[in-house]
Amino acid sequence: MDENFIFIWHVLVSGVVTGCFYALIGMSMVLIYKTSKVINLCQGELTMLGGYVCFSIISFTGIHFLIAFSITLFAVFLIGILVERTILRPLLGESPIAILMVTIGMANILGGVVGLIWGADSKAFPLILSPSSIVLVIIVVSVSLVLIFLGFFKFSIIGISMRSVASDQQASLALGVSIKKTLIIAWGLSAVLSAAAGIFMGNLSGLNLSVKIYGLKALAPMILGGLDSVAGAVLGGFIVGVTEVLGDTYISDIIGGSISDSIAFFIIIVVLIIKPYGIFGTEEIERI
């Protein structure tokens, strides 16, 4: 094969992998936004926490990766519930500013705790597969996770109640949907999704404290897909991931600095100028 072609192929695959991370984190943020109209700015910290918890379980007990993976997802589910229960519940019904700020506060707490426990130096996961097959596994697992969750929203009772809470809290309350329970499950599941992304990141390139910036960068797929569209966040995630890697490969040399952390934010601005409600987002029409 042509060398140039192989290079482009590598770039694209790496873009798709980054896209998987974005899709998972973006989806978890949309999940929270849909149910509680909160933009969660501590998602990056939850991602990071998931990766570190899995790393610790593996390195302390030495059990198989898959078992550690499932234990981590369960633990992070509980952490997500804890976050909702302790800091979000008292602010139920408060202004969006207060809730956005409380997630920033939570981001600080979680980031500090992670730094306190695991320190600033990078942590590498023990290799279980060769790097190229890890990439394949990550893509397959992420895509199937995304599909499972899409089906979950579409068909399961909990998923349907989540969507009903998202569209009208009062009506769903009248129909016997417990909003508090739905919110708790949404936060738990969202933590699970982003923790999965964190674990994959750890397997691919090791963990450090800068992973948390993905929580902010994932706003780009969220806005691109439309704030309240799960499928949009997934599509947006892959678009942003590929764009980021392509941009990093071809533009960084021209500018003379790594732009991989800025492209996502550039996309946010462009989307807000061209199509503020994103690809699939519902345009808000207010009735007076």
Partner 1 sequence: MAEFCGHKKSTYQEDQAIFPTRFRRNLLIAFLCFTIFFPFLGFGYLQYLAIIIGITIIAALGINILTGFTGLISLGHAAFVGVGAYSSALLVSKLGFPFWLALPVAGVIASIIGIIFGLPSLRVKGLYLAMATLAAQVLLNFLMFNWKSLTGGVDGYVVPTARIGPIVFDTDNKYYYLVLAMVLIAALSAKQLFRSKNGRAYIAIRDRDIAAEVIGISLFKYKLQSFAVSSFYAGVAGSLLGHYLSVITPENFTLTLSINYLAIVIIGGMGTILGSIIGSFFIILLPEFLNIIIRHLGDIFPYLALSMFYMKMILFGLIIVGFLIFEPKGLAEIYQRIKKYFKLWPYAY
Question: Residue 203's closest CA among 80, 69, 110, 112?
Answer: 69
- Phi, psi of 64, rounded to the nearest 5 degrees: -65, 150
Q: Does residue 288 interact with partner 1 by CB under 8 A?
A: yes
Task: Identify residues 255-274 at the interface with partner 1 (CB under 8 A).
Answer: 255-257, 259, 261-262, 265-266, 268-269, 272-273
Q: Tokens 């589910």 map to which residue?
A: 77
Q: Does residue 93 interact with partner 1 by CB under 8 A?
A: no
Of the pair 160, 209, the CB lying nearest partner 1 is at: 209
Question: What b-and-e string marks burial along 138-172, b requiring 16 or more CB atoms within 10 Å of the CB?
Answer: bbebbeebbeebeeebeeeeebebbbbbbeebeeb
Residue 98 to residue 118: CA distance in whole angstroms: 30
Binding partner 1 by CB under 8 A: which of 62, 90, 93, 176? 90
Minimum distance from residue 29 beta carbon to partner 1 (Å): 11
Task: Identify residues 101-120 at the interface with partner 1 (CB under 8 A).
Answer: 101-102, 104-113, 115-116
Token pair in block for residue 98 = 């207060």
Q: Does residue 66 interact with partner 1 by CB under 8 A?
A: no
Q: Does residue 251 interact with partner 1 by CB under 8 A?
A: no
Q: How many CB atoms lie within 10 A of CB 62?
A: 9
Q: Where along the sequence are the contacts to partner 1 (CB under 8 A)?
A: 39, 87, 90-91, 94-98, 100-102, 104-113, 115-116, 216, 219, 223, 227, 255-257, 259, 261-262, 265-266, 268-269, 272-273, 276-277, 284, 286, 288
